[in-house]
Amino acid sequence: MTDWLTPEELQALTLSLRVSLWATLASLPLGLLAAYALARWRFPGHSVLNALVHLPLILPPVVTGYLLLLTFGRQGWVGATLWDWFGFTFAFRWTGAALAAAVMAFPLMVRAIRLAIEAVDPKLEQAAATLGASRPVVFLTVTLPLILPGIIAGAILAFAKAMGEFGATITFVANIPGETQTLPTAIYSFLQVPGGDAAAMRLVVLSVAVALAALALSEWLSRRVAARIAGR
Amino acid sequence: MTLSLKLQHDFPGFRLDVALDLPPGLTCLFGKSGSGKTTIINAVAGLVRPDRSEIVLDGTPLHDLPPHRRRVGYVFQDARLFPHLTVAQNLAYGARVRRQPPRDLDRIVDLLGIAALLPRRPATLSGGERQRVAIGRALLSDPRLLLMDEPLASLDEARKAEILPHIEALRDRTGLPILYVSHSLAEVARLATTVAVIDAGRVAAVGAASDLLSDPATAPLLGLRDAGAIVTAQVRAQEPDGLTRLDTSAGPIWLPRLEAAIGQDLRVRIAAQDVLLALDRPAGLSALNILPAKVLAVHRGDGPGALVQLDIGGQRLLSRVTQRSARTLCLAPGLAVFAIVKSVSVAQRDVGDVPLTPQG
pLDDT tens sequence across B161-219: 878 888 888 888 878 899 999 988 888 888 999 999 998 889 988 988 878 887 877 77
What CA–CA distances, in Å, run from A91 to A68, A80, A158?
9, 10, 22
Cβ within 8 Å, pair B83-A230: yes
Contact A130/B at CB under 8 A: yes
Cβ within 8 Å, pair A131-B93: yes
Nearest CB among A131, A145, A232 relative to B97 is that of A131
- A43 found inside a domain: yes
Nearest CB among B86, B98, B123 relative to A132 is that of B98
Count of Cβ atoms closer than 10 Å to residue A86 Cβ: 8
Query: For position A122, which CATH number holds?
Result: 1.10.3720.10
- A2 found inside a domain: no
Question: Closest approach of chain B CAs to the CA of A92, in angstroms?
Answer: 46
Contact A119/B at CB under 8 A: no
pLDDT tens sequence across B227-262: 788 888 899 998 898 888 999 888 888 888 888 888
Q: List the alpha helices (DSSP H) in B29-104.
A: 37-45, 87-97
- A90 found inside a domain: yes
Cβ within 8 Å, pair A141-B71: no
Q: Cα(B239)–Cα(B242) distance, rounded to whole angstroms?
A: 6
Tens-digit pLDDT string for chain A (232 aa): 556 888 888 999 999 999 999 999 999 999 999 999 999 999 999 999 999 999 999 999 999 999 999 999 888 889 888 888 888 888 889 999 999 999 999 999 999 999 999 999 999 999 999 999 999 999 999 999 999 989 998 999 899 999 999 999 999 999 988 889 999 999 999 999 998 889 899 999 999 998 888 888 888 887 887 777 665 4
Nearest CB among B67, B83, B123 relative to A130 is that of B67
- A108 found inside a domain: yes
For residue A159, give the H/E element and its range. helix A144-164
Question: Domain span at residue A200?
Answer: 7-230
Cβ within 8 Å, pair A231-B121: yes
Tell me the residue type at B36. G
Question: Looking at domain B3-213, which of 3.40.50.300, 3.40.309.10, 3.10.450.50, 3.30.470.20 is its CATH number?
Answer: 3.40.50.300
A225 interaction partners in chain B (CB closer than 8 Å): none
Nearest CB among B66, B74, B98 relative to A127 is that of B74
Q: Kindly identify which residue of chain B lies nearest to residue A138, measuring between CA atoms.
A: B97
- A1 found inside a domain: no
Contact A215/B at CB under 8 A: no
CATH 3.30.379.10 given to domain B228-353: no
Q: Kindly identify which residue of chain B lies nearest to residue A229, measuring between CA atoms.
A: B84
**Residue B153 carries which DSSP code?**
T
What ipTM was reported for this prediction? Answer: 0.81
- A66 found inside a domain: yes
Residues 6+ apart with CB under 8 A from A201: none
